Structure formats: structure tokens, C-alpha cells
Amino acid sequence: MERAAELSKTAALVALEDSFGAHNYHPLDVVIERAEGVWVWDVDGSKYLDCLAAYSAVNQGHCHPAIVQALVDQSRRVALTSRAFRNDQLGPFYQELTQLTGYERVLPMNTGAEAVETAIKAARKWAYKVKGVPDGEAEIIVFSDNFHGRTTTIVGFSTDDQYKDGFGPFTPGFRIVPYGDAAAAEQAVTPTTAAILVEPIQGEAGIVIPPDGFLRRLRQICDAENCLLLVDEIQSGLGRTGKMWAYEHEEIRPDLVIMGKALSGGLYPVSAIVADDQVMGLFQPGDHGSTYGGNPVAAAVARTALRVLVEERMVENSARLGAYAIERLQAIDSPYVAEVRGRGLWVGIELDRSAGGARRFCEALREMGVLCKETHDHVIRVAPPLVITRDELDWAIERIERALTGP
Ligand SMILES: *Cc1c(COP(=O)(O)O)cnc(C)c1O
């Protein structure tokens, strides 16, 4: 009786979303009301291990107490000043982020897509003011299967038809080459090329890892051709791959790094770009901005999110347990699995086309208490918060194995 009532609570809330919201997502029908660390609870009291971590926004674990405290404390003091005035959190946030990244300056935004837009503006400005590209002719090289967000400019250079369908006309000035193909990128460079924009590993495409040396080659091309290397670390950054930044795996230094998602540990939308003076110094007052960008709550939350990531050694945990998870998942003997690949606690289980798609496995895992979401149709993404323990990981892997080897 009680269970029936609870189940109808889920159904009622799903019905509300479906009745009154735009249907721009196809979520699993689990209605979450509470979360802590790697665990979430739904409205009928079921507990799940979160293996998506809000697309890597909650690397620090759900509702990390120190980040919650920072959010509450700062909200009580002052929440929004606008950038018309200054606030006492922004300077320290800039300083700490530049110390962490080794870049000279920060430009804060809110969402990932806005940070990508900011990077595009920075690269174009640099092309015109420094490189001397004729006005209106700057080009940015991007890659097939990219995901950089959902604005009209960004979806315009997507290769996913659904992302674009019905949303044109699109912004010109982008040239698309195959992901992982540095030679194709090199061939696409012209005197008007401003930048190459790349994900070090493609998350939304299904945890696609490029060939070794790909980023290093892009770095060399940008050096030789005088263009900027822009790296989108919104999903790959902040420990997800077992390093603070995924580009560190290739020991390169991009000209500009784009970050978001875990920059706030899931408590607030905070994004940023970092770069040196030669690029960032080109922004003049009035060139670019955001009402909420760099607000005191965002800055206080991000400062704490960065601090706990380092102090609680979450990046090291991602490296250690990620390697362990990949090994164990690769050992699963399943007729449905085509490939298991990953870096750090960021694993893609690519299913065989005969498996009937990843969705049914995600539904089965949900029944067993593990929340995963299919990426495109054929990849199960395993990306828990980086605070996961070995025992919790074993618990999840047992269930993933059962789902992949069951009927
Ligand atoms: C999520 C994501 C974005 C967009 O971030 P939003 O906050 O959703 O706008 C951009 N690039 C990458 C690589 C992402 O994973």
C-alpha cells in the first residue's frame, strides 16, 4: 500500500515534468530528492550509486559539505553585485585559479557553452588584433563528433544532425576535420586560421580517446602556423581523467583552457577560460560580459570546489581507481561488449550493435541501484564522482557485470 503510494509519487512527478516542460531530454524515470557523495535517493526511498555524476559536474561528490557551507555562507553575506562593482571573492578566485593552472588571467562565465563562446571570441579577437587576419575572415578548426555546448554558434559546427536540425542559419568561420586526425587539421590550416578548438577526449561522443600524440601534434601545428590551441576541458578537466587536466597526459600547454562543470562541484553554474596576457589582455571594458559571471557566490563556491579537489586527493583517487575499474570492466566476458576504454574514472563501454542499444542496460542497472546514462545509442558511460571508494566501485562493477552478462 505504502509502496504503491510512493510509486505513484514518482509517476506523478514524471507526469508533471512531461506535461508542463519542454521535452528536450529523455531522462530515466528516477526522481531524485536527496544526494550525498556518490549516492542519490529517489522519492520512493530507493538508493542508487550515481555513475554519471551530472556529466562530471559533481566530481567532488554530491553536496560536498565544505562546498555547501561556502554556498550558504556566501549567500548570506552577498550573492550578486554584478561586475559594475567589485566583490571580495573574485580576486582570490582569480589568484587561486591562476596558481592552479599556471595561466596569467581568468575570465569567468556561468555555463560551459558560454565559456566556449568566450574562447571563440578571444581567438577571433587575437586573430584580428595580433595575427593580422583581415576583418571577418578568421577561421577556427574543430573536429567531427565534437560537443562544445548548445548555443546557435556552437551547434552550427556540430556534426550531429539532431543538434542542428531546425536551428539554422549558423555562424560561419568554422572548419570541421576528423577527430584524431592531426594531418587533416594541418591541411585545413590557412593564413586566416585563428585557432584549433579540441576536446582532449570526447565525452559526449562516447569517451573517444584520440591516438597518442594527437594533442602534441596539434600543439606543433599551432606553433608552426601561428594559431591558438584552445582546449575544452569542461568535462575532461578537474581530475576526471586521473590528471587535473586531460592535456597533461600529453605534456602540452594549450594557449587557452576552457573549464566548467566540476569547477563548482555541482553547486552552482560556474565556468571560465584561462589564458595568458597575450590573449586575455585583448579584452577591453565593454567587449564581453555576463550579469552573473564572476559573482561572489560563484567565486566562493568555485574556490572551495577547487580546494577540496586538491586537498582530498580526488585526482589521485581518479587515477588509481580509474585504472582498476578499466581493468575489471575489460575482464567482463560479455557477448554484448565491443570495447571498454577510458582514462581515470571516465570509462566508456561500447556495446556491440547486436546488443540492442545501451538504454536497456541502463534501465536494468537502475533496477539494480546503479545510475548510468547511455551516450549516443551504443555506449554506457561510467563516470562516478571522484570521491568513490574501492568498495563502492566494486559494488557498482558487480552490478554492471551482472547487467552485461544477464539475459
Ligand atoms: C558539458 C560540456 C559543454 C557545455 O557545458 P554546459 O554547461 O552544458 O553549457 C561544453 N563542452 C564540453 C566538452 C562539455 O562536456
DSSP letter, residue 129: I
Pocket of ligand 1 (CB under 6 A): 55, 111-113, 116, 147-149, 199, 203-204, 232, 234-235, 260
What angle separates helix 65-77 from helix 296-311, to the nearest 10 degrees? 160
CA distance 269 to 252: 28
CATH architecture assignment, domain 2-60+313-405: Alpha-Beta Complex (3.90)
The residue contributing the CA closest to ligand 1 atom 15 is 235
- Distance from the alpha carbon of residue 55 to the mean position of ligand 1, in angstroms: 9
The residue contributing the CA closest to ligand 1 atom 5 is 112
Domain range list for the chain: 2-60+313-405, 65-311
Burial 356-392 (b: 16+ CB within 10 A, else e): eebeebbebbbebebbbbbbeebbbbbbbbbbbeeeb
Question: Rounded to a whole number, what is the largest CA-CA distance in the chain?
Answer: 73
User: How many CB atoms neighbour CB 22 within 10 A?
Assistant: 6
Active site residues: 147, 232, 261
- Ligand 1 atom at shortest distance from the alpha carbon of 233: 13
- C-alpha distances (whole Å) from 135 to each of 120, 124, 127, 129, 191 are 15, 9, 9, 9, 13
Q: Which helix (H) or strand (E) holds 188?
A: helix 182-188
Mean pLDDT per 10-residue segment, the chain (407 residues):
62 96 94 98 96 98 98 98 97 98 98 98 98 98 98 98 97 98 98 98 97 98 98 98 98 98 98 98 97 98 98 98 98 96 98 93 96 93 98 98 90
- C-alpha distances (whole Å) from 128 to each of 80, 86, 131, 156, 269 are 34, 30, 6, 22, 31
- Distance from the alpha carbon of residue 204 to the mean position of ligand 1, in angstroms: 9
Residue 13, phi-psi category: left (phi > 0), alpha (psi -120 to 50), beta (remainder): alpha
**Mutate which of 109, 142, 148 to test ligand 1's pocket (most atoms within 8 Å of Cβ)?**
148
pLDDT at 376 (0 to 100): 85
Candidates 2.60.40.420, 3.30.9.30, 3.40.50.450, 3.40.640.10; CATH matching 65-311: 3.40.640.10
pLDDT at 42 (0 to 100): 96
User: Phi, psi at residue 275, to the nearest 5°?
Assistant: -165, 175
CA distance 149 to 161: 14
Q: Indicate the residue type of 182.
A: A
pLDDT at 288 (0 to 100): 97
**Mutate which of 234, 373, 375 to test ligand 1's pocket (most atoms within 8 Å of Cβ)?**
234
- Distance from the alpha carbon of residue 8 to the mean position of ligand 1, in angstroms: 34
CA distance 388 to 50: 10
User: How many CB atoms neighbour CB 27 within 10 A?
Assistant: 9
pLDDT at 1 (0 to 100): 43
**Mutate which of 142, 152, 209, 235 to test ligand 1's pocket (most atoms within 8 Å of Cβ)?**
235
Task: Provide the grid cell at 226.
Answer: 601561428
User: How many CB atoms neighbour CB 394 within 10 A?
Assistant: 14
CA distance 118 to 384: 29
**Cβ contacts of residue 354 below 8 Å, gap of 6+?**
335, 336
CA distance 323 to 249: 14
CA distance 13 to 7: 10
- Distance from the alpha carbon of residue 391 to the mean position of ligand 1, in angstroms: 30
- Distance from the alpha carbon of residue 374 to the mean position of ligand 1, in angstroms: 17
Q: Which helix (H) or strand (E) holds 13?
A: helix 2-20
pLDDT at 8 (0 to 100): 81
DSSP letter, residue 201: S
